[in-house]
A and B are shown apart, each in its own frame.
Chain A
Amino acid sequence: MIFDPLLDLLRGKAVTIPPLDGAFRPNTALDDAPVFAQMPAPDNLVFWQGKVVASSGPALMAPGGEVLQRYGSDITALAVSPHGALTVGLADGSLSIAGAAVVLPTDVRCITALAYGADGRLWLANGSATLPPGQWAADLMQKNASGSVWVQEDGWQKLASGLAWPFGLLPDGAGVIVSEAWRHRLVRLEGGKPRAILESLPGYPARLAPAAGGGAWLALFAPRNRLIEFVLQESRYRLAMMAEVSPEFWISPALASGRSFLEPLQCGGIRMLGVHKAWSPSRSYGLVVRLDAQMTPRFSLHSRANGTRHGVTSVLDHQGQLYIASKGGDCILAPAPEGT
């Protein structure tokens, strides 16, 4: 209707969630995938010194459970330079390259992603100007958009600001593709303003990884949920909830759910006759999407509401073998190549 844009000013614009169909058609590929390694909350995966390594809290771990390195605070981002130097971002806002501390601009306190371009430049995503990485749910509930992206080129250059929790980086020629979690989209930064290249994602995008056959893999760490979208529109309720309820019981996205009876979203909508319904609304989900070279979704791997491999934050494609970090499922998955 032609009056809709005008009416939207009065009634509010419809906030809708894209359906999980087409390339996002649900399956159980993540739940069916074999476990490559088990560790508490694996977050970021990189291939370093001939093996897959993962960050798990303050530890850098090998698949066998061996702790390769332990840091003073939680590791929030990893990257390996073209020369093999391990680059580690920590929750306290510090950054080290091959063990050496790097001086960062004072604005950078929330490192969520690191990536090296083919030209050797280091890209850094700063999720929020005010909150540390561990408080991502609070950043969403405060509806912040204070993230920024930086590149190390004659010192640190800020490429973009005002981003809503940039969580993934994929260097792409002269620019970089950034996943902007709270706006459910991918944007391309190259000079001027961010340009959206993939919008209306059905979840909150996390890290990006180059795919062996071209294109990329995108991890989505939580699903969009109608109740959460509703709470985000109801400011008084949201502020009261943040002031009075413990963060783990907020109506907000989660990396894992169903572990406590105190959590929101339970009862018949979730479980019927003792069976957890795969299509029930859930605060957590497992979702990895294969994007082609034009960043168009081709297919996806899922762990549905009744699955356990939720909260996928990172994907690594090493010579066609995929590794998937399920932070909510406390494991790293290695799906068979034919399954991907």
Chain B
Amino acid sequence: MTPILKLEAISKSYRSVPAVSGVDFDLRRGEIHALLGENGAGKSTLTKIMAGVVQASAGRMLHHGHEVSFATPNAALDAGIAMVFQETSLVPSMTVAQNLYLGSEKFLNRLRGTYISAQQFLQSLNFGVDPTALVATLGAAKRQMVEIARAVQHNAEVIIFDEPTASLTPEEKRHFFALLRRLKARGVSIVFISHALEEALEISDRITILRDGELVITADTASFTRDSIIAAMVGRSLSATIYRERGPAALRKPGRKVLSVQDISMGALVRNTSFSVFEGQITGVFGLIGSGRTETFKIVAGIARRDFLRGGAITLDDRPVRYLTPYEAVRDGIVYVTEDRKSEGIFETMSVGENLFGGVLAAGKAKARLVRLAEVRALAADWTARLNIKAINANARVVELSGGNQQKVVIGKGLVQAPRLVIFDEPTRGVDVAAIAEIHQIINGLADAGLAVVVISSYLPEVMNLSDRILVCRQGRIVEELSPVEATEAKIMYAAVH
């Protein structure tokens, strides 16, 4: 059978740095093909070539056996190849329905008809999104749903998903996988990029693994195990270091109580939440999207404010605090490492050193009133080495780094402030497995050095393997505390949803 799409010896370089070199790839009709690899392995570049976002430097692409080269994404879409991007490309000021039909509107467009048709279409996909809602008002998960719906709506015969499940809850993931199976049954071919290996093993028919821009292996999913995928992705087995079993002896004992949060409330998002954070220990926080875990810790970090009346109490070292600005929290040694690094964590067009120095400035720890380039360079050299940030050169802009290295910059930006309490919100979202191991090592190192560390994550294996205690958040409050020794995925999920 002729593959629907076939890539032969495809190469692509950015500023003479090869992103993909000599990769062969083929996609059969009605298959789900998982594309795996570390960040920087070339997955996104390869899929962008398929979708016409970038053009290959060498090699050829065959569509139904005919050689093609898509100059624009629209040309690829006309040929039936759609791509759902990791960063959503919706127009925030337009409604869901308008976004769905953007570019394919009729000359005389009737808004009511658009809404009705969008409503029916979203219902057919089992997506609970209001078509009349402005995209700007939607959360990350719902935006992702709209993005997926838009690709499906174009009746594409090839749909490429780049990290589609990163922001979905487990329930939404089930719906999404059911949708993929329905699309597959209709003969649609799907390319599926994910960092969650379990998802690839669960949903895909074949798996292709890339490493450093080169093809490592393409084979049927049944022939892979989790460990063999990781070994192929990174060239070594990381499974034991990232997802190791932990006995009671491996857990750190709590030190002094640094932070005590009692009954804090913020509207309907955070409701009478109470917990403590101890020195020398990693406190893991698990909760589904919308459970208020991020908002709770944003209150602690002074980014959000608790209710003025009956808002509860926060004490830092037994001293009551109520921060009006994040600066006050930073001054007290509290650092929040954001989950949304692109919009809140980094200045994309600035260099690593400038970003790190931004952290120093925010904490008011700069040595002089004027920015001294020597200080910036020294800081960059120091933290690049400490956190093993891989950049092309010292002046590389952060946007040019891989997701894992960008995340390390965000972490470094917090750590230069010499904190006592570090709050990591989804520290490994959109980060490849090798970088996950390094980031986990950084986080463990902080706890071992006696800092109080909080890790918020919706990835259960991460919470279970990194934390010394696990707090479960549900509907705006911490409902349960579990020890990693006794915790199982079922126990944590039960607390998170009941």
Contacts and interface: CB of A to CB of B under 8 A. Distances in A.
Contacts, number: 57
Interface stretch (B53-61, B189-197, B450-458, B473-481): B473-481
B275 interface: yes
Contacts of B480: 278-279
Contact of B310 (A1, A14, A26, A277): A14
A33 B218 CA distance: 56
Given A1-B324, A275-B498, A279-B479, A16 B276 contact: no
Contacts of B298: none
Given A1-B324, A14-B312, A272-B498, A19 B479 contact: no
Interface string A5-36: 00000011011111111100110000000000
B272 interface: yes
A22 B322 contact: no
Nearest to A278: B480
Given A11-B309, A14-B310, A277-B498, A21 B263 contact: no
A228 B29 CA distance: 63
B278 A22 contact: yes
Contacts of A20: 481
B274 interface: yes
Nearest to A11: B309
Contacts of B272: 226
Given A16-B313, A275-B498, A11 B322 contact: no
Interface string B298-324: 000000000011111100000010111
A19 B276 CA distance: 7
Contact of B262 (A16, A272, A277): A16
Contacts of A26: 481
A28 to B, nearest CB: 10
B495 A279 contact: yes
B257 A18 contact: no
Nearest to B273: A19
A20 B276 CA distance: 9
A280 to B, nearest CB: 9
Interface in B31-49: none
A4 B260 CA distance: 17
A16 B261 CA distance: 9
A18 B262 contact: yes
Interface residues of A, number: 22
B308 A11 contact: yes
Contacts of B73: none
Contacts of B278: 22
Contacts of A17: 262-263, 274
B3 to A, nearest CB: 48
Contacts of B483: 25
A240 B425 CA distance: 47
A17 B276 CA distance: 12
Given A11-B308, A14-B311, A19-B478, A4 B274 contact: no
Nearest to B310: A14
B22 interface: no
Contacts of B261: 19
Contacts of B311: 14
Contacts of A11: 308-309
Contacts of A19: 260-262, 274-276, 478
B331 to A, nearest CB: 14
A273 B483 CA distance: 25
Contact of B260 (A18, A25, A226, A275): A18
B322 A1 contact: yes
B256 to A, nearest CB: 10
A226 B278 CA distance: 24
A21 B275 contact: yes
A205 to B, nearest CB: 18
Contact of B322 (A4, A25, A272, A275): A4
Contacts of B310: 14
Contacts of B322: 1, 4
Nearest to A4: B322
Nearest to B322: A1
A11 B307 CA distance: 12
A171 to B, nearest CB: 29
Interface string B479-492: 11101000000000
Contacts of A272: 498
Contact of B276 (A12, A15, A21): A21
A231 to B, nearest CB: 14
Nearest to B320: A4
B498 A16 contact: no
> Which of B260, B308, B483 has the most CB atoms of chain A within a 10 A radius of its CB?
B260
A272 B484 CA distance: 24
B290 interface: no
A18 B312 CA distance: 11
A9 to B, nearest CB: 13
A57 B312 CA distance: 40
A277 B475 CA distance: 15
Contacts of B263: 14-17, 226
B476 to A, nearest CB: 13
Pairs of residues from A and B, 5 with the lowest C-beta to C-beta distance, nearest first: A16-B262, A19-B274, A16-B263, A1-B322, A272-B498
27 contacts: A1-B324, A4-B320, A4-B322, A14-B263, A14-B311, A14-B312, A14-B313, A15-B263, A17-B263, A18-B274, A19-B261, A19-B262, A19-B274, A19-B275, A20-B481, A21-B276, A22-B254, A22-B276, A22-B278, A25-B469, A25-B481, A25-B483, A226-B263, A272-B498, A277-B479, A279-B480, A279-B495
Given A1-B323, A16-B312, A25-B483, 12 more contacts: A11-B309, A14-B263, A16-B274, A18-B262, A18-B274, A19-B261, A19-B276, A21-B469, A22-B254, A22-B278, A25-B469, A226-B272
Interface of B: 254, 257, 260-263, 272, 274-276, 278, 308-313, 320, 322-324, 469, 478-481, 483, 495, 498
Interface of A: 1, 4, 11-12, 14-22, 25-26, 226, 272-273, 275, 277-279
